[in-house]
Amino acid sequence: MPVANVRQRSVGAPAEQKIRRAIPREKPGSGVGRATSRLFDSGVIQFTLGPPIESQYSHLDPDVKRILKLASPPTLDNHVIDGVLGMLTSDIMQAMWPHVDPEVPGLMDGIIAAIPNALPKYGLSSDLLVAHALAQFSEECGAGTELVENLRYSAQGLMKTWPTRFDAAKAAAFAGDQQRIANEVYNGRMGNRIGSNDGFTYRGRGGSQVTGREAYEKLGQRVGLDLIGNPDLVNDPRHFLECATADFVMCGCLPFAANDDVNGVTFHLNGGFIGLSDRMAWLGKWKTSLNVRGGAEHGTLWVQQSMNKLGAEPPLDTDGTFGPLTAAAVKAFQQGHGLDVDGKIGPQTIAAIEQELGKG
In sequence order, what DSSP letters do the residues of 34-50 get, joined into one string? --EEEE-TTSPEEEE-S
The domain boundary residue, chosen from 35, 52, 84: 84
Q: Are residues 143 and 173 in the same domain?
A: no
Q: Check the CA dihedral 175-176-180-186 and report its sign.
A: positive
* Cβ pair 145, 36 in contact under 8 A: no
What pLDDT, on the 0 to 100 scale, is given for residue 278? Answer: 95
Q: Are residues 222 and 74 in the same domain?
A: no
What pLDDT, on the 0 to 100 scale, is given for residue 240? Answer: 98
pLDDT in tens, 309-358: 999 999 998 765 556 788 889 889 999 999 988 777 777 888 899 899 98
Q: Are residues 215 and 260 in the same domain?
A: yes
Angle, in degrees to the nearest 10, between helices 13-22 and 62-71: 100
Q: Are residues 307 and 180 in the same domain?
A: no
Cα(93)–Cα(95) distance, integer angstroms:
5
Q: Are residues 174 and 312 in the same domain?
A: no
What is the number of domains present in the chain? 4
Q: Are residues 304 and 185 in the same domain?
A: no
pLDDT in tens, 60-112: 445 444 444 444 333 322 223 233 345 788 999 999 999 999 999 999 999 99
Q: Domain range holding 282?
A: 87-148+204-289
Position 295 in a domain: no
The domain boundary residue, chosen from 231, 265, 289: 289
C-alpha 43: how far from chain center: 18
What pLDDT, on the 0 to 100 scale, is given for residue 188? Answer: 96
- Kind and range of the H or E run holding 203: none
CATH number at 116 reads 1.10.530.10
Q: Where is mean pLDDT largest: 31-40, 194-203, 286-295?
A: 194-203
Q: Are residues 131 and 217 in the same domain?
A: yes
Which of 53-57, 105-109, 123-127, 274-278 has the least mean pLDDT? 53-57
pLDDT > 70? residue 26: no
Which of 91-100, 102-111, 185-194, 266-275 has the least mean pLDDT? 266-275
Cα(70)–Cα(76) distance, integer angstroms:
8
Cα(48)–Cα(59) distance, integer angstroms:
19
- Written as one letter, the residue type at 118 is A
What pLDDT, on the 0 to 100 scale, is given for residue 177? Answer: 97
33: buried, middle or exposed (CB in 10 Å: 19+, 13-18, 0-12)? middle
Label residue 22 by pLDDT band (50, 70, 90): very low
Label residue 268 by pLDDT band (50, 70, 90): confident
Three-state helix/strand/coil letters over 226-241? CCCCCHHHHHCCCCHH
Angle, in degrees to the nearest 10, between helices 127-140 and 240-250: 100
Q: Are residues 9 and 75 in the same domain?
A: yes
* pTM given for the model: 0.61
pLDDT > 70? residue 144: yes
What pLDDT, on the 0 to 100 scale, is given for residue 267? Answer: 87
Q: Check the CA dihedral 322-323-329-334 and report its sign.
A: positive
Among 319, 287, 289, which Cα is nearest to 303's?
319
Q: How far apart are the first and last CA of the chain?
A: 41
Backbone Cα Rg of the chain: 23
* Cβ pair 181, 153 in contact under 8 A: yes
* Cβ pair 34, 53 in contact under 8 A: no
pLDDT > 50? residue 33: no
Q: For the chain, give the mean pLDDT.
A: 78
Mention every residue, 6+ apart, whose C-beta is less than 8 A from residue 51: 31, 77
What pLDDT, on the 0 to 100 scale, is given for residue 39? Answer: 30
Q: Are residues 103 and 166 in the same domain?
A: no
What pLDDT, on the 0 to 100 scale, is given for residue 24? Answer: 36
Residue with more model confidence, 137 or 60:
137
Which of 14-23, 160-169, 179-188, 201-210 has the least mean pLDDT? 14-23
The domain boundary residue, chosen from 238, 269, 289: 289
Q: Are residues 2 and 26 in the same domain?
A: yes
What pLDDT, on the 0 to 100 scale, is given for residue 211? Answer: 96
pLDDT > 80? residue 251: yes
**Segment 230-242 mean pLDDT:** 98
pLDDT > 70? residue 249: yes
Enumerate the β-bridge partners of residue 210: 205
Q: Are residues 121 and 217 in the same domain?
A: yes
